[in-house]
C-alpha cells in the first residue's frame, strides 16, 4: 500500500507551502492584502500538517514536526524578479499558485486512496483539507488577476 508515500509527500509539500506563504507575507509588508491573507493561509497549511501527523502513523509514517520544512527549491519564477519589486510580487503569487495546485492535486490523490481502502477517518481528513487547497489556488489566481494589469501596464 502506497498511501504512506502520499501522506509523506503531502506532509512535505504542506510544510513547504506554509513556509512559502509566510515568506511571501513577510516579503511584501506594504501589500497589505497579500500580507494578511497569506498569513491566514499559512495557518491552514500548519493545521493540515498537524492533521497529517496525527493520521500518518496508521500507515507506518512518522513525519517530522512542522518546524522543519524543506526549502521549496523552486528557484527563479520570472525573469527580472530580483531587481523589480512588482515582478517579484507577481512571481511570488505565481509560485504560490503552482505550489497550491500541486498540494491540491495530492489531496485529491490521497482522497482517492482513502476511498479505495475505505478508511473513513482519512476520507474525512481529505474532505476537510482538499477544498481549502483549491481555495488557496483561487486566492493566488484572484490576486494575480487583480494586480497584474497595473503592473504589466506600468
Partner 1 sequence: MPSRDPIAEPWGTRTPYGPGDPWPARVDLHLAEGVEPDQVDRWVRSASLLHSNGDAMDIAVKDGRIVGVRGRAEDRVNRGRLDPKDLYGWQAGHSPDRLTRPLVRRGGELVETDWDTAMDLVVERSRGLLDERGPSALGFYTSGQLFLEEYHTLAALCHGAIGTNHLDGNTRLCTATAAAALKESFGCDGQPGSYADIDHADVIALYGHNMAETQAVLWTRVLDRLAGPNPPRLLCVDPRPTPVAREAALHLAPRPGTNVALMNAILHELIRTDRVDHAYVEAHTVGYGELVRLTADYPPERAAEICDLPAQGIREAAALLGGAERLLSTVLQGFYQSNQATAAAVQVNNVHLLRGMLGRPGAGVLQMNGQPTAENTRECGADGDMTGFRNWNNDRHVADLAAAWNLDPARIPHYAPPTHAMQIMRYAEKGSIRFLWVSATNPAVSLPELRRIREVLAHRDLFLVVQDVFMTETAELADVVLPAATWGEKTGTFTNSDRTVHLSEKAVEPPGQARPDLDIFLDYARRMGFRDRDGRPFPQWHDPASAFEAWKRAGAGRPCDYSGLTYDLLRDAGGIQWPCDADRPEGTERLYADGRFWASPEECESYGRDLVTGAPLEEAEYRAANPGGLAMIKAAEYVAPHEEPSGEYPFTLITGRTLYHFHTRTKTARAPELQRAAPEVWVEVSASDAREAGIAEGDPVEVRSARGAVVARARVSGIRPGVLFVPFHYGYWDTGAPDAGGAGGRAANELSATDWDPVSKQPLYKTAAARLRALGPGDGRPSPAPTTTASAPVGAEVARTRGEPDTRETYPGGGTR
Contact residues for partner 1, defined by CB under 8 A: 30-33, 36-37, 39-41, 43, 86, 135-136, 138-139, 141-143, 145-146, 148-151, 153-154
Q: Which is nearer to partner 1, 105 or 151 (CB)?
A: 151
Nearest to 3 by CA among 119, 105, 131, 134: 119
Sign of CA dihedral 94, 95, 100, 106: positive
Min CB(45)–partner 1 separation in Å: 13
Q: Which is nearer to partner 1, 7 or 91 (CB)?
A: 91
Q: Which is nearer to partner 1, 1 or 152 (CB)?
A: 152
At 60 the three-state DSSP class reads coil
Burial class (CB in 10 A: 0-12, 13-18, 19+), 148: middle
Min CB(140)–partner 1 separation in Å: 8
Q: Which is nearer to partner 1, 59 or 97 (CB)?
A: 97
Q: Which is nearer to partner 1, 60 or 131 (CB)?
A: 131
Min CB(151)–partner 1 separation in Å: 8
Whether residue 44 contacts residue 20, with contact meaning beta carbons closer than 8 Å, is answered with no
Min CB(32)–partner 1 separation in Å: 5
Min CB(62)–partner 1 separation in Å: 28
E-only strand ranges, the chain: none
Nearest to 77 by CA among 27, 127, 12: 27
Whether residue 86 contacts residue 151, with contact meaning beta carbons closer than 8 Å, is answered with yes
Amino acid at each position: 500500500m502506497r498511501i504512506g508515500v502520499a501522506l509523506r509527500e503531502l506532509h512535505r509539500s504542506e510544510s513547504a507551502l506554509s513556509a512559502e506563504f509566510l515568506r511571501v507575507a513577510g516579503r511584501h509588508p506594504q501589500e497589505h492584502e497579500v500580507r494578511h491573507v497569506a498569513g491566514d493561509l499559512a495557518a491552514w497549511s500548519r493545521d493540515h500538517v498537524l492533521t497529517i501527523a496525527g493520521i500518518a502513523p496508521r500507515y507506518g509514517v512518522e513525519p517530522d514536526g512542522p518546524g522543519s520544512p524543506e526549502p521549496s527549491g523552486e528557484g527563479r519564477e520570472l525573469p527580472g524578479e530580483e531587481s523589480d519589486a512588482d515582478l517579484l510580487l507577481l512571481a511570488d503569487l505565481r509560485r504560490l499558485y503552482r505550489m497550491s495546485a500541486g498540494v491540491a492535486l495530492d489531496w485529491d490523490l490521497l482522497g482517492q486512496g482513502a476511498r479505495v481502502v475505505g478508511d473513513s477517518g482519512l476520507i474525512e481528513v481529505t474532505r476537510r483539507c482538499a477544498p481549502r487547497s483549491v481555495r488557496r489556488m483561487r486566492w493566488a489566481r484572484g490576486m494575480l488577476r487583480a494586480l497584474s494589469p497595473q503592473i504589466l501596464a506600468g
